[in-house]
Structure 1
Amino acid sequence: MSKRLAKQLLWWQKTREEEEDLSVSNMASPSGCSHYVRSCFLKAPCCGKLYVCRLCHDAEENHQMDRFKVREVQCSECQTLQQTQQTCQQCHMQFGEYYCDICHLFDKDKKQYHCQPCGICRIGPREKYFHCEKCNLCLAQDLRGNHKCVENVSRQDCPVCMEDIHTSRIGAHVLSCGHLLHKSCFDSMITTGMYRCPLCMHSAWNMKDQWVEMDKEIAESPMPPEYHGATAKILCNDCQTHCTVPFHVLGMKCSGCGSYNTAQDGGLIQQPQLIRVNVPLFIHSF
């Protein structure tokens, strides 16, 4: 048996003996968990159990831990239960390189900072982000004055996975329409060929090159003669323009902005023309 394994087993046995009426998650370890690098356990204010983090707690229990109400932690080195602080009062073990006494977040230093308007900690560095008051969210500095504001946008769930965005550890992607998706959900959209915001149907990125290709494809694929002159009313999902354009099964181009991200609004205005076949009035016999 390796020394490291023996040390971990000894620590586990000691914890089991001294825990009394406190239970410790079996996911806990002196080095932290899959979510955070830390050397302590949080005592859940809701159930009194010890977990490395709130996410480990929420995955095991049928309720959620309120991070802001955590008042006690247990050192993973000496098992001393104590008030929340960055360093163990007994063995002086540092619980985390970064510590927030509001969120009670312990973790490896990732240039985190606590954003008061957001109410939680964000991964920084702080100088590379700003808090948009209308969106109520921290955004990268290059989006300052360069994004469409949607009020309290981060308080909405991700429209792809329907999970929380505001407190998620997964980064968010800001679409040109102002709506948010998890970065991983946005990447999945790209791989599956989805190019529109699931909420407002606006193009999720600049589609100019794709529209040029669509122009070429439609020019090379004329409609049958009976559809020549047929038109339809459309609504553009990108600029909200209502217009009447030539009908084509491959796509109908907005006359306002040139986008093919359009939806047909009603049937054809000019119905397809039936091809007349000349039939002789009399049948001659020979």
Structure 2
Amino acid sequence: METKAEAVASLPLMSHSSSSAESSSKHVSPMELGIDNFGCKHYRRRCKIRAPCCDEVFDCRHCHNDAKNSEEINVNDRHDIPRHEINKVICSLCDTEQDVQQYCINCGVCMGKYFCGTCKFFDDDVSKNQYHCDDCGICRTGGKDNFFHCKKCGCCYSKLMEDGHRCVERAMHHNCPVCFEYLFETLRDITVLPCGHTIHLECVKEMEKHHRYSCPVCSKSICDMSSLWKKLDQVIASTPMPESYRNKMVWILCNDCGVNSQVQFHVVAHKCLSCNSYNTRQIQGNPNNTSSCSSRVTEMVR
């Protein structure tokens, strides 16, 4: 078993021209000892964890989940680590296995500048402004003073949204509607759409590259589409329908405001008479007829 002095001596130190600098380098505080020399692609930290589910050692829970859910693993054996059940960590400096705590019982090193005993979470990069949310039950980043927890949505939002956000029950307790990653515990940036549904920010950008501007969950427009609606007005005005279709009327449902309208049929798009949106779908027959719910649907022009 390495002693604290041996663990310090084994760390790579920068060369110094003066003996006084060399002397000071040997008296690094436990909070700084070995910092930035250990960790993984997910976190900088000075410890590893022993997974309670499979009794194997990993750098962090994400490393475990990546390894245990890979294509090489039998589908029946794939699993995520139960993060709150982690009870053993291994110091990266002296390899001492011990109960979960911030400072190593053997060499005294701080295993993570940010430490949460509830989540069994360590991280040396405190620039993320981590904090633990009791209502979420997990640690978040961005600073506690900058966020509030919405009880109905079941997640933390920026305080900039506190007065005007649209509540959707358990808004982040589901998979991203584009990539299907579980949003509540994702490490990637999340955005809240005007309709209140949540999605990865990069997934929204990918949608926009393919000219998709409606929520994948409820089909409401995700941004101001008024300029496009004006262009569609011009296209429709310059594209008259053949004589046989000029008196054809159809019922439409607006995805944005939810109002049913009876409008003149056009092959390009149909405009909502209530909000002027072209984000509409054609419904068969009279909307007052309950059978219209199972009718054929024509999606909006995007």
Task: State TM-score, norm by structure 2.
Answer: 0.76
Do 1:156 and 1:164's aligned partners in 2 also have CA atoms closer than 8 Å? Answer: yes
Which structure 2 residues correspond to residues 107-186 of structure 1 after superposition, within 5 A?
107=123, 108-109=125-126, 110-186=128-204
Q: Deviations over 1:243-281 (max 9, x none)?
A: 11121111100000110000011279xxxxxxxxxxxxx
* SS in structure 2 of the partner of residue 254 of structure 1: coil
Aligned length: 242
Which residue is 1:206 aligned to?
224
Which structure 2 residues correspond to residues 74-89 of structure 1 after superposition, within 5 A?
74-89=90-105
Do 1:111 and 1:125's aligned partners in 2 also have CA atoms closer than 8 Å? Answer: yes
Aligned AA for 1:58?
A: N
Which structure 2 residues correspond to residues 209-228 of structure 1 after superposition, within 5 A?
209-228=227-246
1:49 aligns with 2:56: yes
1:266 aligns with 2:284: yes
1:59 aligns with 2:66: yes
Aligned AA for 1:90?
A: N
Instruction: Supply the distance in 2 between the matched residues of 1:212 and 1:100 (Cα, whole angstroms).
Output: 53
* SS in structure 1 of the partner of residue 229 of structure 2: helix
Which residue is 1:18 aligned to?
none
Which residue is 1:249 aligned to?
267
Q: CA RMSD of the aligned region, Å?
A: 1.9
Instruction: Supply the distance in 2 between the matched residues of 1:220 and 1:35 (Cα, whole angstroms).
Output: 55
Instruction: Supply the distance in 2 between the matched residues of 1:217 and 1:122 (Cα, whole angstroms).
Output: 48
Deviates more, 1:251-260 or 1:136-145: 136-145
Instruction: Supply the distance in 1 between the matched residues of 2:110 and 2:206 (Cα, whole angstroms).
Output: 39
- The runs of 5 or more residues in structure 2 that have no matched partner are 1-9, 12-35, 69-77, 287-302
Aligned AA for 2:105?
A: Q
Instruction: Supply the distance in 1 between the matched residues of 2:218 and 2:94 (Cα, whole angstroms).
Output: 54
Using the aligned pairs only, state the percent identity: 41
Q: Deviations over 1:158-209 (max 9, x none)?
A: 1112221111111221111111112221121111111111111111222122
Aligned AA for 1:100?
A: C
Which residue is 2:108 aligned to?
92
Instruction: Supply the distance in 2 between the matched residues of 1:260 and 1:50 (Cα, whole angstroms).
Output: 55
Do 1:235 and 1:241's aligned partners in 2 also have CA atoms closer than 8 Å? Answer: yes
* SS in structure 2 of the partner of residue 68 of structure 1: helix
Q: Deviations over 1:33-52 (max 9, x none)?
A: 11111111011112221111
Consecutive aligned runs of 4 or more in structure 1 exceeding 3 Å deviation? none
Instruction: Supply the distance in 2 between the matched residues of 1:212 and 1:181 (Cα, whole angstroms).
Output: 28
Larger radius of gyration: 1
Do 1:175 and 1:204's aligned partners in 2 also have CA atoms closer than 8 Å? Answer: yes
Do 1:30 and 1:40's aligned partners in 2 also have CA atoms closer than 8 Å? Answer: no
* SS in structure 1 of the partner of residue 66 of structure 2: helix
Aligned AA for 1:125?
A: G
Which residue is 1:72 aligned to?
88
Structure 1 residue 154: Cα displacement = 1.2
* SS in structure 2 of the partner of residue 184 of structure 1: helix
Aligned AA for 1:71?
A: N
Which residue is 1:280 aligned to?
none
Aligned AA for 1:212?
A: K
Structure 1 residue 30: Cα displacement = 5.3
